[in-house]
Structure 1
Amino acid sequence: MQCPLPRIAQPWLPRFWSALLLGLMLVSGATPAAAQAERCPKLVAENPFLKHLGSRALPAAYVAPRQVGLTYIGHSTFLIETAGGVTVATDYNDYVRPSVVPRVATMNRAHSTHYSLNPDPGIEHVLKGWREDRDPVHYNLDIDDLWVGNLQTNIRDWRGDTIRNGNSIFVFRAADLCIGHLGHLHHTLTHDDIGALGRLDVVLAPVDGSYTLDMDGMIEVLKALEAPVIIPMHYFNESTLENFLTRFAGQDYVIERRESPELVLSRETLPTKPTVIVLPGSQY
């Protein structure tokens, strides 16, 4: 585990070290994964003035500057909205879609509820998390006030064989928040994977415990990522969700259930104690 750096009073120093690190990566020929970690650097200190705020819920109808809107559509699909008006649909498919045509759609290849053969032609950026030749695919996109990157993982086919680079963990950064969508994750992450992902403030995690990663493995991944907010997805039924929540409640996490599928997130309102937030959505 990395040791957090002490809080630095001079406001220019974090920018100096960030620029220096980026320069060193460029000179040394750093990988796209390393560059991604720079986009979402690890938190260096806790702000003591934010402790009293907790995990406030705000209406998602309005996304102000320094905020990000998040709506759970269902299964593995979320609608992410930035203050600048960029919209993203994760694991965009032909069964469960948001009511708006997103500017960005990410997809994974596990099965047809995670990708679309007929994406809406109005989508500006269709980002497939795999290549048919199984070579790596890397995204490093700036779209107005949103940045999108990815980390590839492997998946199993129906016979249990490994499909290399079949899944992407997509990372979205807006308003100084980093949101990671684990996709159809089938295996635990290595130390290098965790380092490449960098700081994740919100993790959207499949918790079915069978079609994706088993429950023990998923808990291991989520604990390693150390995100302040975890939002379960891809759990099919209430009993599977309850199994995950029961297991996670013993991991020093707060469990919150919301009545609305919408959240507005900001750095100022991140919970100081790791929290699992359950949002209602279609599981079909």
Structure 2
Amino acid sequence: MGVFSKRVRHAAPPSAADSNRSWRRAGRFRSCAGRRGGQFGGMVMRRVFCLCGVMLLCGSTILPAQEAVPEGTKARWFGHAFVYLVSKSGVRIAVNPFTEGTVDYPLPERLPAEIVLISSEAPDYSGGQHIFGLPQVFRSLAGVGANRANGIPFRGINTWRDAEGGKRLGRNTVYQLEVDGLRYVHLGTLGHPLSSKDVSAIGRADVLFLPVGTQELSQREILRNAELLEAKWIVPLAYGTEPSRRLGLRPLADLDFGKLAVKKHEASEFVFVKSALPEAPTVLVLKEPAGL
């Protein structure tokens, strides 16, 4: 052989026993790695879940539970013209929430709603930004016409805040809603006697939220509007109180309801039931919410 030649020894092929031992060692390695990987993955997931829990507790907004009652529609007066309805199925409707600072009633904290209805852009009627959740908001003119939201049919009727066709104070939207078999009407900040066309568009009211403090209408005109709508329950709103003193509204005590029956309720909320409508028109005076 040459100097560059090298004897090559060929290794013998592995026996069956050697192959089996190699596969067993590889299997033990994979099993161990799998167990460790599973333990590591489980630890990571547990930490992720714990972190998410802390974030939810510390940073989330927990909204109040729906306050539906099976008997009928719950209505709550938060002061001034702000009415909050909750249907039997739990749909929450905020009507004319006031903007913070316009009156000295406290705004409910983190109050959720599915629907927000605003009659005019007057600051004491247009505080929809204070309502939580992701409500559908209908602002003044945008609410005019036939609408439906969350299964609630309602209609907005264009009216005025003064008797001069809105030349001084602008437009107002009257809202008529059908909830749990009853028809609710909120006159907003109506400032003129209703015409026959208005009455035809609004229709009969089972429950009428009636602004009685405006100086744009006489007492007689205010009560005539309620009479024209054939209201069964008449709920006076938006009248002069200590928290609303800056608005120059007429106090409720100055209003003479004449021969109408008057029921004073010892709470600021009331449940309206279709089977319990009064036979004759009745004024329902809700307890005034506490001021700031």
User: TM bucket by the smaller chain?
Assistant: 0.5 to 0.7
Select 1:275's aligned residue among 261, 282, 291: 282
Query: Where in structure 2 are the equivalents of 1:76-155 lying within 5 Å?
Result: 76-95=81-100, 97-99=107-109, 100-109=111-120, 111-116=122-127, 118-120=129-131, 122-130=133-141, 138-155=144-161
- Conserved in 2, the CA contact under 8 Å of 1:236 and 1:283? no
TM-score normalised over the length of structure 1: 0.67
Cα offset, 1:208, TM superposition = 0.8
User: What SS is found at the alignment partner of 1:152?
Assistant: strand
Does structure 1 residue 224 correspond to structure 2 residue 235? no
- Conserved in 2, the CA contact under 8 Å of 1:75 and 1:283? no
Report the CA distance shift for 1:270/1:112 in structure 2 as closer, same or farther (over 3 A): same
Cα offset, 1:94, TM superposition = 2.5
What per-residue deviation string (whole Å, max 9, x for no partner) do you get for residues 35-58 of structure 1?
xxxxxxxxxxxxxxxxxxxxxxxx
Cα offset, 1:163, TM superposition = 5.3
Query: Where in structure 2 are the equivalents of 1:174-253 lying within 5 Å?
Result: 174-210=179-215, 212-237=216-241, 240-244=251-255, 247-248=256-257, 250=258, 252-253=259-260
Stretches of structure 1 lacking an aligned partner (at least 5 in a row): 1-59, 132-136
| Structure with greater contact order relative to length (CA < 8 Å, sep ≥ 6) | 1
Could you list the structure 1 runs, at least 4 aligned residues long, displaced by more than 4 angstroms after superposition.
none
- Conserved in 1, the CA contact under 8 Å of 2:162 and 2:192? no
Distance in 2 of aligned mates of 1:126 and 1:254: 35
Aligned letter for 2:270? L
Distance in 2 of aligned mates of 1:193 and 1:123: 32
User: What SS is found at the alignment partner of 1:130?
Assistant: helix
Aligned letter for 1:141? N
Aligned to 1:171: 176
- Conserved in 1, the CA contact under 8 Å of 2:75 and 2:270? yes
Cα offset, 1:106, TM superposition = 1.2
What is the aligned residue count?
211
Distance in 1 of aligned mates of 2:87 and 2:284: 20
Distance in 2 of aligned mates of 1:208 and 1:163: 16
- Higher helix share goes to which structure? 2
Q: Percent identity?
A: 23
Query: Where in structure 2 are the equivalents of 1:33-52 lying within 5 Å?
Result: none
- Conserved in 2, the CA contact under 8 Å of 1:256 and 1:278? yes
- Conserved in 2, the CA contact under 8 Å of 1:207 and 1:218? yes
Report the CA distance shift for 1:217/1:83 in structure 2 as closer, same or farther (over 3 A): same
TM-score normalised over the length of structure 2: 0.65
- Conserved in 2, the CA contact under 8 Å of 1:235 and 1:283? no
CA RMSD of aligned residues (A): 2.6
Aligned letter for 2:271? V
